[in-house]
Amino acid sequence: MLRGRKSLLVSKMSFRCNWVLRIGAVGKLITDGAFNRDALVRVFWYTDDEVTFIYLNSNTLLVKFGSKKDKNKIMDLEPCSFDKMLFVLKDYEPSFSPRDCDFSLVPFWIRFYNVPLGWMNRLAALMLGGAVGEVMAIDWRDREGGWGEYIRVRVLLDITKGGQNGYSDGAS
């Protein structure tokens, strides 16, 4: 009889872990200081379905989205700023450990202005974005194949390096 109970327990655990794999993420507020936890969970979440939060430690939390659509929408918008602090989301991975998870690589959308019209193409976007970090995506929306005011590229940046690679937030 004990064998059947273990099987049921494993099935329940598998079901619980399954939602995390599909619609879960892990978030971290990049700060050593104090912040308003209640405000953090109220601010970002413009979703169709409910979002549930479980704090794993002082500034890391597990985020359960109500749907895959909501998760994708929020993940595409990240990183977010909360009270002038960076909030980073990562896809949930089964091997995740709150202490060991690396939140140093963060995707940012970057706009490159004053690009010559002849360079408004995929190769130039890859070269410009690649000079800053690892190119993840190029956004050509509403610009008829790239002709426009700027080239928008999603780039993976190491936030521990600051402006060492020649990029800056303009504040320095």
The residue-averaged pLDDT of 61-87 equals 83
Please give the angle made by the CA atoms of 166, 171 and 172, to the nearest 5 degrees: 60
Q: Give the pLDDT band (50/70/90) at residue 144.
A: low
Give me the chain's average pLDDT, please: 76
Cα–Cα dist 59/20, whole Å = 19
What does the pLDDT look like over 30-68, one tens digit per residue?
877 777 777 776 666 677 788 888 888 888 888 888 888
What amino acid is encoded at 141 in this protein?
R
Cα–Cα dist 159/147, whole Å = 30
Architecture category of domain 2-98 in CATH: 2-Layer Sandwich (3.30)
What does the pLDDT look like over 148-172, one tens digit per residue?
788 899 999 998 886 544 444 444 3
Cα–Cα dist 23/52, whole Å = 11
Q: Which residues pair with 62 in a beta bridge?
A: 26, 54
Q: Which pLDDT score is estimated for 166?
A: 46
What does the pLDDT look like over 5-30, one tens digit per residue?
433 333 334 444 454 556 888 888 88
The residue-averaged pLDDT of 92-118 equals 84
Q: Which pLDDT score is estimated for 18?
A: 52
Of 91-95, 120-124, 130-134, which has the strongest mean pLDDT?
130-134
Q: Where are the domains of the chain?
A: 2-98, 106-158
Instruction: Using CB atoms within 10 Å of the CB of residue 31, give its burial: 0 to 12 exposed, 13 to 18 middle, 19+ buried.
Output: middle
Q: Which pLDDT score is estimated for 1?
A: 45
Q: Which of 71-75, 88-92, 95-99, 136-140 has the lowest mean pLDDT?
A: 95-99
Cis peptide leading into residue 79 (ω within 30°)? yes
- 82's enclosing H/E stretch is strand 80-82
Instruction: Decide: helix, strand or coil at residue 4.
Output: helix
pLDDT tops 90 at residue 136: yes
Q: Give the pLDDT band (50/70/90) at residue 113.
A: very high
- Counting residues of the chain whose pLDDT is more than 90, the rounded percentage is 15
pLDDT tops 70 at residue 104: yes
